[in-house]
Amino acid sequence: MSERSKRWKRFLYAWSGIVAAVKEEIHMKIHLAFAALAIVLASTFHITKWEWLVLLLTIGLVISLEMVNTAIERAVDLATKEIHPLAKAAKDIAAGAVFVSAIIAVVIGCIIFIPYMIR
């Protein structure tokens, strides 16, 4: 198999991971819905280039962390079926990371959009 073919397969594996997260995770759907809303608002208000950059980075961070959280949850579930304090901690900490990023995303959204809404 050529190096190009191997790279293409890796891309397809990554894409299938994104598709699986979107199909199977309700929280991913919620994050994507809010991301779509933010993009519609950004387009409506004609936000600046820098605001777009911050907005897109924020959306990417939340969605990426949700995917990492999902991967950690599935790996922990694969490793043990019993309730273990370390397994619970790993899952809770990963979920907490998503929660922190989502709260920061809301704050960033407010900082960007409220001035436009007030005008």
- Given 3, 24, 51, 66, the catalytic residue: 66
How is residue 34 written in tokens?
A: 């809010």
Active site residue 3: no
Instruction: Return the H-helix or E-strand segment holding 49.
Output: helix 49-79
How is residue 31 written in tokens?
A: 């994050």
Contact 41, 82 (CB under 8 A): no
Active-site amino acid positions = 66
